[in-house]
Amino acid sequence: MLGVKVKTVKTKNEYTIEEFYDAIKDKSFSAGAPALTKHGFSTIVTFPPLDRRNQIWIVPVLGVGKKKASKFQLSKQEIAGAGNAAVNMALNDLTGGLLGLRGVASKNTKAAEKLIDITVEELNALGL
């Protein structure tokens, strides 16, 4: 799919998303400072957005009934947050989808995809 990049980090230990955030929150990343972000019914780790359509998210890969994970996926998404999902949908509707298309084919898209690769390397180097 155009403009979608997903990478996985495998950890030695299992973490809830909050524990994973606690393990990385004081570390330095090329993508910026991580934040724990509420998005809908989920909590995710995010990095500062490059624009409304290009933000790196970290989400746990959970098994059925599990609350802890040893795999975490990094991907480029629209800006996360309680009020941002509705704004993103409204902007996409107002522009007839053109704003969404710009999010998969812009210079920030390439920068975000590169930051995903770098962030995966930085997370792996932590030996979590």
Confirm whether 45 is domain-assigned: yes
Does residue 109 sit within a domain? yes
In a domain, residue 11? The reply is yes
pLDDT by residue (tens digit) across 8-66?
A: 999 999 999 999 999 999 999 999 999 999 988 889 999 999 998 899 999 999 988 88
Number of domains in the chain: 1
Determine contact, residues 23/42, Cβ cutoff 8 Å: no
Quick: pLDDT tens for 84-125.
544 444 444 444 545 444 445 678 989 999 999 999 999 999
Residue 74 inside a domain? The answer is yes
Cα distances from 43 to residues 21, 36, 71, 117, in angstroms, run 10, 7, 16, 22
> Is 25 a member of any domain?
yes
- Give me the domain span that covers residue 103: 6-125
Please report whether residue 1 resides in a domain.
no
Task: Give residue 98's identity as a one-letter amino acid code.
Answer: L
User: Is residue 107 in some structural domain?
Assistant: yes
What does the pLDDT look like over 73-86, one tens digit per residue?
Answer: 999 998 887 555 44
* CB 103 within 8 Å of CB 15: no
Q: Is residue 40 domain-resident? A: yes
| pLDDT given at position 29 | 98
